[in-house]
Amino acid sequence: FSAENASVNIQSPSKPCMSIPKVSRIFQPSNLREGYEGGDMTCRSQRLMLQAGLIHPSNPGCFYYLPTALRSLEKLVRIIDEEMQAIGGQKVDMPALCAAELWRRSGRWELMGKEMFRLQDRHDIEYCLGPTHEEAVTELLASQSTLSYRQLPLLLYQVTRKFRDEQKPKFGLLRGREFYMKDMYSFDISEEAAQQTYESVCHAYGRLFNRLGLRWVQVQADTGKIGGTLSHEFQLPADVGEDRLLFCNNCTFSANVETVNTEETNCPQCHTGTLNESKGIEVGHTFYLGTKYSEVFNAMFINSQNKPMVAEMGCFGLGVTRILAASVEVLSTEDAIRWPGLLAPYQVCIQPPKKGSKTHSATHLAEELAQSLGDCLPNLRGEVVLDDRTQLTIGKRLKDASRLGYPYVVVVGQKAMEEQPLFEVLCQGTGETMFLSKEALVDLL
Ligand code: ATP
Ligand code: MG
Ligand code: MG
Ligand code: MG
């Protein structure tokens, strides 16, 4: 170690030099055996994600998320973070290991039944692997003896793995036993304030699904084992969905069948319309809890008269891995993945000419283009891949690219070698093919 080295270290930029990811080097093993059907346990998104090497099956309802899928998942989490923080959400991370004692106090240790993964430590103390965190977060708040009304509303959220021993894990990431959820918990000074918080979270959910370009509906829902008095689900209409939804043909009423008195065929809201049924994938769920948990755990705040009061609560879930798979489910074709633009693992794939072909000498142009797109457009840094499998025909590589769903594929061929070089650009969203100069391509992207 010398002073000379030290100064080099201090001066070197913190950003690592970007190398262009090469398709041949991305760990993306296809997991689909020839002729694999998977029966009623599989669906389009599961099949496509296995085929493209995005996920790898482990125990029932558990998956390895491989590098390409993880890029999408991390993009989704960043967008969720933006939306939750825009309404004042603060990110935390709570232990997955939850003491049975807390769940006994809320009465849910028994209620959760077989869906809960239970275990004991070396001292025979019982725990569960958190299926949700109302107990934990309320206990956390209850430990704060000086929480003031000035600090409310308080919105704490996390994006963590949840564990549920589902009776029938199926449809890949749509119903896992170990999955990512965003769960937010709100604490307010009054019922009225809690209702406002509830509304603002519902709006944030709407914005999120709009940004992803997904068709979604918000329906009234059952409060189930979580409890409370008001609840909505965010659903993506899809035939593979396991939820049955009712929509009135006359008014705005919409609900999950689980809530609705199905003896009646008329709409419970307008009483004249009839209810039509369709299927949906539940991607989010909001609950107004009132003081159900805060009373049990004594989660209090000091009000403006300096008196301790029980906080009003809400809880708000988003199925993160379910949203990823559900987007693939509803946007893709039978044999090609289509992503919400913001979630595509990579934005651009560049196709150099085939090895030994007469345009082979354009290979370096492809490499230069990949490098310079990232340099010209900072938001494309790390988003451009080079399909260096040049022993394969362009046709075969384009088929793979379509299957993986890059929003833009750029073919470097004959026209790239001309005096005014042009690149063939395939746009996934519109299905268009264009020949563009590098400048026009940069503008497009
Ligand atoms: P479902 O009715 O599909 O079993 P839930 O009503 O039990 O879901 P919640 O307790 O409302 O689920 O959890 C919040 C969100 O977590 C759900 O809206 C869903 O998007 C997601 N989720 C729930 N269970 C799973 C699972 N097994 N795999 C993936 N995501 C899930
Ligand atoms: Mg469930
Ligand atoms: Mg449900
Ligand atoms: Mg639910």
pLDDT tens by residue, 400-445: 999 999 999 999 999 999 989 999 999 998 899 999 999 999 999 9
Would you give the distance in Å from CA 406 to the centre of its chain? 18
Question: Which residue's CA is the nearest one to ligand 1's atom 22?
Answer: 319
Backbone angles phi, psi at 213, to 5 degrees: 70, 30
For the chain, the first-to-last Cα distance in angstroms comes to 45
Give the distance (Å) from ligand 3 centre to CA of residue 282: 6
Give the distance (Å) from ligand 1 centre to CA of residue 260: 19
Backbone angles phi, psi at 413, to 5 degrees: -135, -150
Burial of 81: CB neighbours in 10 Å, binned 0-12, 13-18, 19+: middle
Question: Which residue's CA is the nearest one to ligand 1's atom 1?
Answer: 282
Measured CA to CA, the distance from residue 191 to residue 198 in angstroms comes to: 10
Would you give the distance in Å from CA 136 to the centre of its chain? 23
| Sheet with 384-386, edge to edge strand ranges | 384-386, 348-351, 408-411, 423-427, 433-436
Question: Which residue's CA is the nearest one to ligand 1's atom 4?
Answer: 175
Give the distance (Å) from ligand 4 centre to CA of residue 390: 48
Confidence tier at 261 by pLDDT (50, 70, 90): confident
Q: Token match 């793995």: residue?
A: 161
* pLDDT over threshold 90, residue 17: no
Q: Is 317 in the pocket of ligand 1 (CB under 6 A)?
A: yes
Cβ atoms of 202 and 232 closer than 8 Å: yes
Confidence tier at 262 by pLDDT (50, 70, 90): low
Are β-strands 154-163 and 90-91 bridged in parallel, bridged antiparallel, or unpaired?
Answer: parallel
Confidence tier at 1 by pLDDT (50, 70, 90): very low
Measured CA to CA, the distance from residue 214 to residue 242 in angstroms comes to: 18
Q: Token match 């003031």: residue?
A: 148
Q: Report which of 112, 115, 133, 138 is spatially closest to residue 225, judged by C-alpha positions.
A: 112
Residue 402 has a pLDDT of 95
List, in order, residues 6 or more apart from 212 with CB less than 8 Å away.
79, 323, 327, 340, 342, 343
Choose which residue among 165, 166, 245, 282 to substitute to test ligand 1 binding: the one with the highest number of ligand atoms within 8 A of its C-beta. 282
**pTM for this one?**
0.94
Question: Which residue's CA is the nearest one to ligand 1's atom 29?
Answer: 175
Q: Which two tokens stand for residue 213?
A: 């370009």
Choose which residue among 108, 177, 181, 209 to substitute to test ligand 1 binding: the one with the highest number of ligand atoms within 8 A of its C-beta. 181
Confidence tier at 138 by pLDDT (50, 70, 90): very high
* pLDDT over threshold 50, residue 2: no
List, in order, residues 6 or more apart from 61 with CB less than 8 Å away.
166, 169, 170, 175, 176, 177, 178
Higher pLDDT, 12 or 293: 293
- The pLDDT tens digits for 86-117 are 999 999 999 999 999 999 999 999 999 999 99
List, in order, residues 6 or more apart from 307 with CB less than 8 Å away.
none
Give the distance (Å) from ligand 4 centre to CA of residue 84: 19
Higher pLDDT, 19 or 54: 54
Give the distance (Å) from ligand 2 centre to CA of residue 170: 12
Are β-strands 275-290 and 178-188 bridged in parallel, bridged antiparallel, or unpaired?
Answer: unpaired
Ligand (nearest to CA of 225): 1
Give whole-number Cα distances, 80 to 55, 90, 157, 159, 400, in Å: 22, 12, 11, 9, 29
Nearest ligand 1 atom to the CA of 166 is: 27
Residue 9 has a pLDDT of 52
Strands (E), 293-436: 300-302, 308-310, 312-319, 348-351, 384-386, 408-411, 423-427, 433-436
Q: Is 319 in the pocket of ligand 1 (CB under 6 A)?
A: yes
